[in-house]
Chains A and B, each alone.
Chain A
């Protein structure tokens, strides 16, 4: 209990200390220490609570009363801050203040209700929560570490951007505190306050550079997340005034089952979809890519967007075996398919990562809607593997950008030869995202199994499995294409000797090792974090008691593959082949290595070749428009259907 309070308060205090640091060296030192302390604290917390099963904590009456008032005032203060920021909106963004007022009004009406539900256990810890806390603490900590040098370089390059680093770090640490709040809080109104704090942080950090584009994208993120905020607040109001279920506790909401809890669960699910940037809300995440890269890594791929799917997975037992759950899965499925196809079009590495993030979150949403033990198993492991591999990829792209001055995939040609260490990290990240024997693929495997044993209506799971099969194919294409650029032999030498900063190297190296080790030790992660959680739900009778089991034969075959991927390069390094090296075939006499050749009429011709982006085959705007319309209709059906 006190450890939870500490985890939420410490980042706040650390953020204040960093913001008040007298100069940049001391500030950097404080960021490093605080990030390290948070990472160590979450690991210690995990070790202390491992295997204890879910624990619920009550607080003394006076504290509950005080905190209730505190969070209510915090909500009002937050609304005032957001309204203050709204002084810079355009006429067409009129809906943003309206949404703020609507959401605050709904919350206040619930909190000031004459009789409101009593909350017995405002905080809790279970194994899924611990896993999320580890992701926030360890991955978040490493990203903060990476940010120290990155932000210094960023301001050295971007002279037009005002240096607001003290505030920048404060907002990041405030965000970490809010994330810990989200994962440990069982009290829905408090959880909502933390939820809105992450929206505020995201808005501020997207707008950080202060350019017009950044500010517009910030407001778009704010507006779309506020739609989720309003539905979340509506769910709380329903749970206060509505017929049937009266509770402000997440665990009791989940335990109430689909008969009682479907309406509030569907409303909260919309908030989760908005936060996880699912279609039709997805555009804000693309816009968020204007933020500095550590922000994209922290908020927009590994933690904040995970808060959305975290809640959906928590609510997953409510959706089990309902049409609402099927609709939710379909929203995730359409998002997965559409964004995977659109990602093929992208040349900008950050946009590829953004679309792939949305797609993977879509996959998790698909699993959350199914709500069997196997599907939840897959969803939780996807959250873990995606958080690690994507954080690695974002940070690696950020560092690469500073080294080669571009985030265009075409410019990353020959990274294996130009910057072997960067290329190795990028390759591990990419392999971790989609290829056997890495974790993401393992989760996909279980997902197929979970879909095939669904039972809502005829052919439901098959439809989802077919969507998954079609969506996985373009994933394979765009990742492999990128890897192809990285491994290509450069046509002309492009030396780059600038060293990678120590902090960045440490963060990247640690994430690379974690990506690899998480895959090798996944049976452990499974045993420690996932099985206790799904087992507990099964014991409560919320989900059918069929546990996902990966047979040992599969595990050792996976290990064999992982071993081959590890040992073979070592063998090559130890005893490289002694073949003669020549320049590539150009169907003419090569003049300058592979860079040019003597063509017809004796003229020297330069060689250029680029990747395929298939822009005439998949149309980004069309796909997104129809995907958005389809999912919007599905959401309307979801809420309408739950209400009827």
Chain B
């Protein structure tokens, strides 16, 4: 990939990432509404929501929570920056992990029982999906001999077939990453769950807006990961497929009930083992 082009892409992610993420969230809400035979909000509603949050008073339990949330946002941006720069995928994943941990720390710091359990559950979810997420760069490394995103994009058109098990595993953990049902244990878009708003219970005003913006970035990053599987086919084919798969998650969200943490952990690790690790072990035979 041309270096200048890569820099522009990375900068475009930093500037336009939230907008794309907001649009994804807007479409998600609209689709969900249609599945439930409702009209649904305008596509740009998430943007209006966040702009409104910035105008509200911000109440904090401790001022340090804002610091941790800034870390959450910044490391999310760094992770996406690395990804769209075409640099190291494993490094991008590490930055994503750091970012997730800072969100948990922010919630832990407020120390209300709801945030507390929410962040513990979020950590358990991280423990559940982390092995599968690590297997993705490892799979790409075996097919392209590199952790670099630029090399993966220029990889073999067969890689999605070679990595089909890993793709299935990734789609499974994507449901957790997007905080979709049945895995929306730590916080939920649907009200009336036992944890109030879980992780985000004690965030308000601009603090909550930071969380939302970071989630938009996160969704763009995850879409980017999904795109990587199909990337060698060129953007005209790969982008629509990635979008389509992304919105299949909305369908899953609306058709499944929430699981408990222990069944989530078990299910995720079994899927990782059966689909991901098996695919990885068979890979030397098919590359």
Q: Which A residues from 412 to 462 make CB contacts under 8 A with B?
A: 413-414, 416-417, 435-437, 441, 445, 448-449, 452, 458-459, 462
CB pair B101 A435 closer than 8 Å: yes
A 466-504 to B, binary, CB cutoff 8 A, 1 in contact else 0: 100110111011001101110111110000000000000
Known: A484-B105, A580-B59. A572 touches B131 (CB 8 A): no
Q: A484-B105, A553-B87, A568-B74 are in contact. Are A584 and B123 (CB under 8 A)?
A: no
In Å, the complex CA distance between A476 and B114 comes to 21
Q: Is A546 part of the contact surface with B, judged by Cβ < 8 Å?
A: no
B113 engages A560 (CB within 8 Å): no
A residues less than 8 Å from B161 (CB atoms): none
Given A477-B123, A584-B115, do A577 and B63 touch, yes or no (CB 8 Å)?
A: yes
Q: With a CB–CB cut-off of 8 A, which chain B residues contact A577?
A: 58, 60, 63, 66
CA A381 – CA B280 in complex, angstroms? 27
Is A466 within 8 A of B280, CB to CB? yes
Residue of A nearest to B74 (CB): A564
Query: Do B61 and A489 touch across chains, with their CB atoms under 8 A apart?
Result: yes
Can you name the residue of chain B whose Cβ is closest to the Cβ of A466? B277
Interface-located stretch among A25-33, A236-244, A372-380, A607-615? A607-615
Q: How many A-B residue pairs have CB under 8 A?
A: 195
Q: B85-122 vs A: 1/0 string, CB under 8 Å? A: 00110110011011001001100111111111101100
Q: Which residues of B contact A445 (CB under 8 A)?
A: 90-91, 94
Known contacts A476-B101, A487-B105: does B75 contact A584 (CB below 8 Å)?
no
A residues less than 8 Å from B130 (CB atoms): 469, 472-473, 476
Contact B112 A462 (CB under 8 A): no
Other-chain residue from B126, B135, B285 in contact with A469 (beta carbon distance below 8 A): B135
- CB pair A462–B281 under 8 Å, yes or no, is yes
- In the complex, whether B184 has a CB less than 8 A from a CB of chain A is no
Report the minimum CB–CB distance from B106 to chain A (whole Å): 8
| Contact residue among A488, A569, A572, A612 (Cβ-Cβ distance under 8 Å from B109) | A488
- Determine how close the nearest CB of chain A comes to the CB of B215; give it in whole angstroms: 19
Residue A2 is within 8 A (CB to CB) of chain B in the complex: no
CA distance A554 to B87 in the complex (A): 8
- Establish whether residues B135 and A584, one from each chain, have CB atoms under 8 Å apart when the complex forms: no
- Residues in A neighbouring B19, C-beta threshold 8 A: none
- Chain A residues within 8 Å of B201, by CB: 584-585
**Distance in Å: Cβ of B103 to nearest Cβ of chain A:** 10
Decide: A484 and B67 in contact? CB cutoff 8 A: no
The answer to whether A491 and B111 touch across the interface, beta carbons within 8 angstroms, is yes
Partner of A557, one of B57, B58, B61, B87: B87
Contact in complex: A584, B202 (CB < 8 Å)? yes
Chain A residues in 8 Å Cβ range of B104: 480, 484
- Contact partner of A448 (CB less than 8 A), chosen from B75, B90, B272, is B90
Q: Which of A60-115 contact B (CB under 8 A)?
A: none
Specify which of A441, A484, A489 is in contact with B94 (CB 8 Å cutoff).
A441
Is A587 in contact with B114, judged by CB distance below 8 angstroms?
yes
A591 close to B (CB within 8 Å): no
Contacts of A553 in B (CB 8 A): 87-88
B20 interface residue (CB < 8 Å to A): no
Residue of A nearest to B95 (CB): A436
In chain A, positions 169-225 with a C-beta closer than 8 Å to chain B are none
- Is the CB–CB distance between A576 and B63 below 8 Å? yes
Using Cβ atoms and an 8 Å threshold, which residues of chain A touch B134? 448, 469, 472
Identify the interface centre among A553, A582, A585, A594: most chain B CB within 10 Å of its CB: A585
Residue tally, chain B, CB below 8 Å to A: 68
User: B141: CB under 8 A from chain A?
Assistant: yes
Which residues of A are found within 8 Å of B191, using beta-carbon distances?
A: none
Closest to B276 in A: A466
Interchain CB contact under 8 A, B98 and A435: yes
Nearest chain B residue, comparing its CB with the CB of A590: B112
Which residues of the partner chain A approach B124 to less than 8 Å between Cβ atoms? 477, 612
A584 CA / B127 CA spacing, docked (Å): 27
Q: CB within 8 A of B68: which of A441, A487, A583?
A: A487
Q: Are B280 and A462 in contact (CB under 8 A)?
A: yes
Is A118 in the interface zone, CB < 8 Å from B? no
B-side contacts of A576, CB under 8 Å: 63
Smallest beta-carbon distance B234→chain A, Å: 25
B111-A489 in contact (CB<8A): yes
| Chain A CB within 8 A of B172 CB | no
A479 to B115, CA, bound (A): 18
Q: Is the CB of B141 within 8 A of A452?
A: yes
B71 beta carbon closer than 8 Å to chain A: yes
Q: Is B64 an interface residue (CB 8 A)?
A: yes
Query: Which residue from B94, B120, B202 sits with its C-beta under 8 Å from A612?
Result: B120
Q: Which 6 A-B pairs have the closest CB atoms?
A: A584-B112, A484-B108, A436-B94, A469-B134, A488-B111, A473-B130
A-side residues, CB < 8 A to B, are: 413-414, 416-417, 435-437, 441, 445, 448-449, 452, 458-459, 462-463, 465-466, 469-470, 472-474, 476-477, 480-481, 483-485, 487-491, 551, 553-554, 557-558, 560-561, 564-565, 568-569, 572, 576-577, 579-587, 594, 607, 609, 611-612, 617
With A484-B116, A561-B98, A586-B112 already in contact, 13 other A-B pairs whose C-beta atoms are closer than 8 Å: A414-B111, A448-B134, A466-B281, A472-B134, A476-B97, A480-B126, A481-B120, A484-B104, A489-B62, A551-B88, A554-B88, A609-B111, A612-B120
* Residues of B bordering A, CB below 8 Å: 57-64, 66-68, 70-71, 74-75, 78, 82, 87-88, 90-91, 94-95, 97-98, 101, 104-105, 108-117, 119-120, 123-124, 126-128, 130-131, 134-135, 138, 141-142, 147, 196, 201-202, 205, 207, 262, 265, 269, 272, 277, 280-281, 283-285
Q: List 8 A-B contacts (CB under 8 A).
A: A473-B130, A476-B126, A488-B110, A554-B88, A561-B75, A579-B58, A580-B60, A581-B59
